[in-house]
Amino acid sequence: MYKFLDSTLDFLLKEHQHPHHALLIQGREGLGLPYLAKAFARVLMCENPVYLGKVLNRACGQCASCHLMASENHPDFLYISPETQEVSISETESVPDKVAVAATQIKVQAVRALIESLTVTSHRNVRRIIVLDPAEALNAIAANALLKVLEEPPQNVVFLLLSARPGRLLPTIRSRCRVFIVSSDTMQEKALAWLEEQNIPDAVGWLEASQGAPLAARQLALEFDSLGIRARSNAWLTADLQQVLATAQGLKRPDLKAWLFWWYRFITDCLRVSQEVKPVFFKHDMLALRNLACKQTQFAWMKYLNLVEAQLRSAEHPLSAPLVTDTLLVQYCEMFLTKQH
């Protein structure tokens, strides 16, 4: 587990060493909830755990259960996530071109199989742990199937529901869970040290941009580098159609969505600057950013940002991605032809 989660795990164990049958662990993406849940499960499953005073503290790392958890083979530990599926994006092209698209739903089959498995007694331990990551990915039927189990929980089964958007869970599911909130506040020092260990340049800036979520900060920094966002943003700053269009050319398909997110971040920074608020992501050329932001009104930036948001929502369809980027970029350049009031 990442060191920046240590104190969060201590706190989680202190509060929930005798866990309720359903625990909702909520926190922003990039805080490492899956790692926390696995570490928590390792301690709960351990046959010879280490205590700090009277509080469970760490797994022993030696017992049969610890070995099974380490090899991800523990029969009493289940981790359920949406499965990655292959989606064809070649409908308009002659060359077959499939990309793996992360599925967004946990289907009812997965939950039914899980319920079925609960009818058999546990293999090793008295306790079984089931992680649902993210819990809001349960589709409506799957959520209702889970709700039935939570209403009449089997003995010694603990459900860990991970969620960055608990508002999307069925209220009836939420009300059956105890809640543990993972906050970035308690991990900042260690998060920063960890990012620096990873040789992330401007770790402070990226951590701030990701609202304190270290894994998200690393992702931002790595993408900024690998997608050449600095060079691309220099072209965006010119607002010159040819230069701007070139920034979406030659992108590999899997990178298009990430590109679109960076474009969204760029426009939000332009809007911020037009409102005299500090930018979050593009601080390397403040003068050019300010000049660009001043070329349009706040209203125009807001209106354009709405367009980008609408495209982001439909960005799950990789088929339309190249067309989407070109259209957005042309609309962006057109925005500077007239100043709106």
Return residues touching Zn ion (CB under 5 A).
Answer: 46, 59-60, 63, 66
Kindly state the smallest distance separating residue 47's Cβ from Zn ion, in Å: 5
Q: Which of 60, 179 has the CB closer to Zn ion?
A: 60
Kindly state the smallest distance separating residue 48's Cβ from Zn ion, in Å: 5
Kindly state the smallest distance separating residue 104's Cβ from Zn ion, in Å: 35
User: Which residue, 328, 199, 200, is CA-closest to 261?
Assistant: 328
Cross-strand partners of 80: 132
Kindly state the smallest distance separating residue 223's Cβ from Zn ion, in Å: 37
Q: Which long-range contacts (CB under 8 A, 24 or more apart) does 5-11 make?
A: 5/32, 5/35, 5/36, 5/39, 5/187, 6/190, 7/186, 7/187, 7/190, 8/36, 8/182, 8/186, 8/187, 9/36, 9/39, 9/40, 9/43, 10/52, 10/55, 10/57, 11/186
Kindly state the smallest distance separating residue 65's Cβ from Zn ion, in Å: 5
Q: Which of 63, 333 has the CB closer to Zn ion?
A: 63
What's the rounded Cα separation, in Å, for the pair 190 and 202?
Answer: 15
Name 74's Cβ contacts closer than 8 Å, sequence gap at least 6.
45, 65, 68, 124
Q: Which of 46, 195 has the CB closer to Zn ion?
A: 46
Q: Which of 60, 305 has the CB closer to Zn ion?
A: 60
Hey, how many other C-beta atoms are within 10 angstroms of the C-beta on 71? 8
Q: Which of 60, 333 has the CB closer to Zn ion?
A: 60
